[in-house]
Amino acid sequence: MNIAIIFGGSSFEHEISIVSAITLKSVIKKHSLEFIFIDANRDFYLIDSNNMKSKFFSSKEYLKKSKKINLTKGGFEIPGMLGAKKINFDVALNLVHGRDGEDGKIASLLEFYDIKYIGPRVEGSVLSFNKALTKCLAKSLNVKTLNYQLLDIDGLREINIDYPIIVKPVRLGSSIGVSIVKSEDELDYALDVAFEFDTQVLIEPFIEGIKEYNLAGTFGGEWILSIVEEPQKEDFLDFDKKYLDFARDERVSQANISNSLKEKIEENFKAIYNPLFLGAIIRCDFFVIDNEVYLNEINPIPGSMANYLFNDFDEVLSKIATNLPTEKNINIDYLYINNIQKVKGKA
């Protein structure tokens, strides 16, 4: 199978997406790969596999050495004086983190141009990209979440949650703009930081020593669930640590938890996944408090696709690629307009 990995984008997480793509180059062994880069101007470039190095992008070498390509019906093509040349691949993989990739823009483009792709569809993207909407989704599915409060950039800065708290931009990931606030005199600075990245922030209680577990999965004709991971425990992973985290390609260990807790986490994951995330490999991060499972966040395009949580990531890609959702074909026959024309005697 030939997979076109789409990465980059106009996002604060642009560099993270590059790191993820470079990581997948080393992880995916059984499939051939094409690399399609979206730069900050939202132009598409075909990147030679040998140039998949971080400096190639940071130095902007791609502008001189890579071919600019166009999105077209059914895929991408390289323009030329003698006609356009189609880039051959079986399925695209949306690896654009943050804005563009996780907010539904890429999903909309790929669906509009009738391109098969692995990744969250429009509805799943919208609901998981916005942390407040994620809370609403979880509530509708009877999945527990922590209490929260929303603040707007032009609104009052009054907090009704006891300290310590955690402050997060509503539409951003990778811990960018996130702060732990232990007292009121630290609040204004933390909010100023968060509002640099978004016009709305989410406030949650920060619970010292809370148990956290990650689970990734997909549905490829059957449920394909990863191991449950208990990530390294610090106050929280800041941007630099998560940057390194996105480059992970080595398997991690299964969390030492009971079968009953593992089943609870898996049940919550399935409730969130189906049907909104069909066609995607997602990772959900959960808290566990008094043996109850709480959703922390949905990662619709996890760093390096959470490959390190699966026994055989190549097989995961194969199964999901052959079980992707498709849009219903709508036959437009102009019957309504023709009938009107007949009534008017203008047929």
Q: Report, in angstroms and rounded to the nearest whole number, the Rg of the chain calculated over CA atoms.
A: 22
Gap between the terminal Cα atoms of the chain: 50
> What's the whole-number average pLDDT of the chain?
92
Is the per-residue pLDDT at 71 higher than 50?
Answer: yes
Q: What is the pLDDT of residue 175?
A: 78
Q: What is the DSSP letter of 301?
A: S
Provide mean pLDDT across the span 327-346. 86
| pLDDT class of 176 with cuts at 50, 70, 90 | confident
Q: Let me know how long the chain is.
A: 347
Residue 8, exposed/middle/buried by CB under 10 A (0-12, 13-18, 19+)? buried
Residues 108-124 pLDDT 10s? 999 999 999 999 999 99
Q: What is the pLDDT of residue 13?
A: 92
Tokens of 324: 């992707």
Q: What SS3 class is residue 31?
A: coil
Q: What is the pLDDT of residue 235?
A: 45
Residues 227-280 pLDDT 10s? 999 987 654 545 455 545 556 667 788 999 999 999 999 999 999 999 999 999
CA distances, 243 to each of 161, 206, 280, 338 (Å): 30, 22, 22, 58
Tokens of 10: 């106009």
Full DSSP string of 159-198: --SPSSEEEEETT--TTTT-EEE-SGGGHHHHHHHHHTT-
In this structure, the strands spanning 165-169 and 149-152 are unpaired
Q: Model-level pTM? A: 0.90
Looking at residue 37, its amino acid is F
Looking at residue 12, its amino acid is F
The H or E element that residue 241 is part of is: helix 239-245
Least Cα distance to 87 among 103, 105, 74 occurs for 74
What count of other Cβ atoms lies within 10 Å of the Cβ of residue 59?
11
Residues 282-310 pLDDT 10s? 999 999 999 999 999 999 999 999 999 99
